[in-house]
Amino acid sequence: MDISKVVESIDDIIKNAKMIGIGSTRKVYRNENLVIKTFLHPIGYAQSKNEYEMYQSLEMQRLEKHIAPILFMNEKYVVQPFYEQLPLNNYCSYDIDLESDSRMTEDLKAALDVIDKELDGFDFKDSGNYGLNEEGHLVLIDYGMTKTLYEEQWVPLAEAGTLPQIRFEKCQVCNIEKELRMYGENDTDLRCVACGKDH
């Protein structure tokens, strides 16, 4: 797909695209073989900017093969290739064993080590941060939250109820236990995203 054509009509594409994910700072839509992430908060933009810079660093070290590249980015959107999402476990993400998972490649292990030790990244065990390529190998698709960004900006805003934290509870509409977006301790809206809770 021609990225320039996608960028030209990105607002219209999003109106008709299927939402495939939502986090505390970004919302993700799928359009054919691409994903478009929109920023719900300035931290989402900072995450994507980090991803762009991290990818460039890994590319220089030839460790980018199993890292999702940034194809386009501006102040509102980021576009990346689509990778098949890992299935949820009881409607939730789960921890991946980075050493023994057969879908993990040696170059991805090396890239994660660089992101962790040199680029301030973290949170690599969560299955929600990975997709699968055509060969069935893991690809890191969400990697822009650094330790510094998390501690200095995300945590204070989450504790203040500005950004949602994820809790595993029963949705009051569909009655299924799943990950719910909760805005601080006083948030009583126990609906999942599928049942209408957004932001």
Q: How far apart are CA 107 and CA 92, in angstroms?
A: 27
At residue 35, the pLDDT reads 95
* Rounded alpha-carbon distances, angstroms, from residue 126 to 57, 140, 141, 143: 22, 10, 11, 11
Inter-axis angle of helices 42-60 and 106-117, to 10 degrees? Answer: 120
- Which domains are seen in the chain, by residue range? 3-152 (3.30.200.20)
At residue 36, the pLDDT reads 95
At residue 30, the pLDDT reads 93
Tens of pLDDT along the chain (199 residues)?
678 888 889 989 999 898 888 888 999 999 989 999 999 999 999 999 999 999 999 999 999 999 999 999 999 999 999 999 898 887 778 899 988 999 999 999 999 999 999 999 988 899 989 999 999 999 999 999 999 999 999 999 988 888 888 888 889 999 988 888 888 878 889 998 888 887 6
* Contact status, residue 162 vs residue 199, Cβ threshold 8 Å: no
At residue 3, the pLDDT reads 84
At residue 61, the pLDDT reads 96
* Rounded alpha-carbon distances, angstroms, from residue 42 to 18, 75, 146, 149, 185: 23, 9, 14, 11, 23
DSSP codes, 130-194? EEE-TTS-EEE-----BHHHIIIIIHHHHHTTSSPEEEEEE-TTT--EEEEEE-STT------GG
At residue 158, the pLDDT reads 87
Q: Which of 76, 73, 80 is nearest to 33 (CA)?
A: 80
At residue 29, the pLDDT reads 94
Any residues with CB less than 8 A from the CB of 121 and at least 6 apart, and which? 50, 54, 112, 115, 143, 144, 145, 146, 147
At residue 199, the pLDDT reads 60
At residue 91, the pLDDT reads 75
